[in-house]
Chains A and B, each alone.
Chain A
Amino acid sequence: LAKTTQPISMDSYEGQEVNITCSHNNIATNDYITWYQQFPSQGPRFIIQGYKTKVTNEVASLFIPADRKSSTLSLPRVSLSDTAVYYCLVVPNTGGFKTIFGAGTRLFVKA
């Protein structure tokens, strides 16, 4: 399983765009990049997943360069409610496996 590295914490202000970068140098060919969000006292929530290039949904965008050794989660115009921990995972697209969460990135959005 590929190991991921992401910043421990980030601060932002309401209305700004936030980009969280994750490195995964040992990503395998059949691995996908997946991001989860976790609020205090709740279980993680799936945000977005991608394989290469760019993926966008109603919550975020995910940018993946051609070598796939890193990825960037982009949160547009954050609000106070986006304060949470964000986890980057590298997983096989078939599911059903040992899933490794790192410590995540603690995003704090200020007014």
Chain B
Amino acid sequence: DTGVSQDPRHKITKRGQNVTFRCDPISEHNRLYWYRQTLGQGPEFLTYFQNEAQLEKSRLLSDRFSAERPKGSFSTLEIQRTEQGDSAMYLCASSPEGDKPYEQYFGPGTRLTVT
């Protein structure tokens, strides 16, 4: 079990640029979640995939945000035309469908800084 991995770990970008983050879940987990976390706050749910299907999407996920999980394995989160308010830690988590589906395993996160 190699755990959930995320790439890159840190990203600094200028306002208006597009950025893309990648998440590799635990291999046997068919459920994948994206969260955003700002300093002093708990993680905010962004979206959820079951296999390749995006089943839940928060209103926080504006039109500038898009997430994909094309083959039901890794996932990408893209932010277009970044704004300073997008600066945050972006967390990915995965969970199994069978035993203990409630237990989400989180990756280390991607810290985004928009200048």
Contacts and interface: CB of A to CB of B under 8 A. Distances in A.
Contacts of A95: 31, 95-97, 101-104
A99 B33 contact: yes
Interface in A82-109: 85, 87, 91-104
B54 to A, nearest CB: 12
A42 B92 CA distance: 11
Interface residues of B, number: 29
A43 B108 contact: yes
B104 A99 contact: yes
B42 A42 contact: no
B56 A98 contact: yes
Interface string A37-51: 000011111100100
Interface of B: 4, 31, 33, 35, 40-45, 48, 50, 55-56, 58, 91, 93, 95-97, 101-109
Interface of A: 32, 34, 41-46, 49, 85, 87, 91-104
